[in-house]
């Protein structure tokens, strides 16, 4: 029984990181209305910035987190201004091709400039742990989960307690109606896309702290983020929370109880997407 609760705890802690990545993607889909296939590459940029701050400046990656978030927010806003805004009214295939190409460009730039090797970050608390009764939690995982909860709480506070958040929700519901009542839709899109990229970069800092940085590190997390927003419903930020918990706990259970579970855990999100689509098709047919 102790193993079961330890597994649940591990899955819950992992879900915080998943929710952080998926919330950024859901923001881009729900508010801006674009599926950003380069979302994982913005996570990769955040991971490398955290590694660079640690390796060259001696700055703890968690202390560099605010600067990384602001820097990648600016990169995301610039990306929106230069490219994304010009395809928002284009067919969806054009939007997908643009973001897919942007992801390939960023990934290959990282490969050319930094090489394909993984880079790890060493911190004083790397080997620390916290005991919760009979259960044990790694210090970095607990810190990452706590930061994810705080950041997500801040995001939801902005969306539901501020004028900017109300504008974002209005634009997400009806772009034309928002324009008619005086909302600067283009400004809202720019901020939303920048925040989306910034959230991915923050997740990248946590990934570099927990795992490593590499040019392809964002791919797996982006795929899992897509699985989460499919389960939650495209653009449904509230649903992202429970969907992240479902994915995190499911992966942890597979890793613990399925023989060779380490290899199967990465396929869990595909199975969850399939189950979600089948369930929705049956609901729609009734």
Taking all residues of the chain, what is their mean pLDDT, rounded to a whole number? 89
pLDDT of residue 137: 87
- The tens digit of pLDDT for each residue in 132-144 reads 778 888 888 999 9
* 158 domain-assigned: yes
Distances (CA, A) of 32 to 44, 64, 114, 116, 155: 22, 28, 32, 32, 16
Cα four-point dihedral sign 210, 16, 111, 109? negative
pLDDT of residue 262: 58
Does residue 97 register a pLDDT over 90?
yes
Between CA 178 and CA 176 the distance in angstroms is 5
Residue, of 154 and 235, whose pLDDT is higher: 154
pLDDT of residue 264: 61
Label residue 205 by pLDDT band (50, 70, 90). very high
Average pLDDT over residues 16-31: 94
* 98 domain-assigned: yes
What tokens appear for 178 in the block?
């928002």
DSSP at 137: E
pLDDT of residue 12: 93
pLDDT of residue 89: 87
Residue, of 126 and 153, whose pLDDT is higher: 153
Between CA 239 and CA 18 the distance in angstroms is 13
Does residue 124 register a pLDDT over 90?
no
> How far is CA 51 from its chain centroid?
18
* 209 domain-assigned: yes
Between CA 183 and CA 168 the distance in angstroms is 9
Label residue 186 by pLDDT band (50, 70, 90). very high
Distances (CA, A) of 261 to 1, 223, 274: 19, 19, 19
* 241 domain-assigned: no
Q: How many domains does the structure of the chain reveal?
A: 1
* 250 domain-assigned: no
Label residue 116 by pLDDT band (50, 70, 90). confident
Residue 150 belongs to what domain range?
Answer: 16-120+133-219
Between CA 205 and CA 208 the distance in angstroms is 5
* 194 domain-assigned: yes
* 239 domain-assigned: no
Q: Which of 5-14, 66-75, 113-122 has the highest mean pLDDT?
A: 66-75
Backbone angles phi, psi at 128, to 5 degrees: -75, 160
* 274 domain-assigned: no
Between CA 51 and CA 73 the distance in angstroms is 18
Residue, of 38 and 233, whose pLDDT is higher: 38
pLDDT of residue 167: 95
Does residue 272 register a pLDDT over 70?
yes
């Amino acid at each position: 029984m102790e193993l079961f609760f330890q597994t649940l705890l591990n899955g819950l802690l992992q879900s915080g990181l998943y929710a952080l990545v998926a919330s950024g993607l859901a923001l881009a889909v729900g508010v801006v209305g674009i599926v950003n296939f380069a979302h994982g590459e913005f996570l990769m940029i955040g991971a490398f910035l955290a590694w660079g701050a640690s390796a060259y400046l001696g700055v703890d990656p968690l202390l560099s987190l605010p600067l990384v978030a602001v820097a990648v927010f600016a990169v995301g806003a610039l990306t929106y201004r230069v490219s994304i805004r010009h395809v928002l009214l284009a067919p969806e295939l054009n939007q997908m091709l643009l973001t897919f190409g942007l992801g390939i460009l960023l990934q290959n730039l990282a490969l050319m400039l930094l090489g394909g090797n993984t880079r790890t970050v060493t911190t004083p608390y790397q080997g620390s742990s916290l005991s919760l009764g009979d259960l044990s939690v790694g210090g970095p995982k607990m810190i990452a989960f706590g930061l994810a909860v705080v950041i997500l709480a801040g995001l939801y506070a902005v969306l539901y307690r501020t004028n900017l958040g109300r504008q974002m929700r209005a634009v997400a519901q009806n772009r034309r109606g928002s324009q008619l009542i005086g909302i600067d839709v283009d400004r809202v899109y720019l901020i939303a896309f920048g925040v989306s990229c910034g959230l991915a970069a923050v997740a990248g800092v946590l990934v570099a702290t927990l795992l490593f940085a590499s040019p392809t590190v964002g791919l797996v997390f982006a795929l899992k983020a897509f699985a989460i927003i499919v389960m939650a419903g495209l653009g449904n930020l509230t649903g992202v929370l429970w969907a992240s918990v479902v994915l995190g706990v499911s992966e942890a259970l597979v890793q613990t109880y399925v023989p060779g579970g380490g290899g199967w855990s990465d396929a869990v999100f595909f199975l969850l997407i399939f189950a979600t689509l089948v369930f929705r098709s049956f609901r729609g047919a009734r």
